[in-house]
């Protein structure tokens, strides 16, 4: 991880949402070399059902006028 993104500089505000009986929490991650998103899925009984770190979605491009 550190070789790809560099050091973790800070985390953003977590955002929780329901997915069926599960709860999915997205956490913005800000690294030296770019941003990513941490994702943790909790089952209905509160146990961790999955985890992932994915590159952050690129910001929408602004239209040139």
Q: What is the pLDDT tens value at each position of the chain, 65 positions in all?
A: 667 778 999 999 999 999 999 999 999 999 998 899 999 999 999 999 999 999 887 655 556 55
Those residues whose C-beta lies under 8 Å from the C-beta of residue 39, and which sit 6 or more positions away, are: 24, 25, 26, 27, 50, 51, 52, 53, 54
pLDDT value of residue 57: 75
pLDDT value of residue 26: 96
What's 46's DSSP letter?
S
pLDDT value of residue 20: 93
What is the rounded distance in angstroms from the CA atom of residue 45 to the CA atom of residue 59? 35
pLDDT value of residue 60: 58
* Rg, C-alpha atoms of the chain: 15
């Amino acid at each position: 991880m550190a070789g790809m993104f560099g050091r973790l500089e800070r985390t953003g505000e977590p955002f929780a949402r329901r997915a069926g009986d599960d709860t999915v929490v997205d956490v913005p991650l800000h690294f030296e070399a770019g941003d990513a998103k941490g994702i943790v899925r909790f089952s209905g009984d509160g146990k961790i059902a999955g985890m992932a770190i994915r590159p952050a979605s690129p910001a929408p491009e602004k239209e040139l006028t």
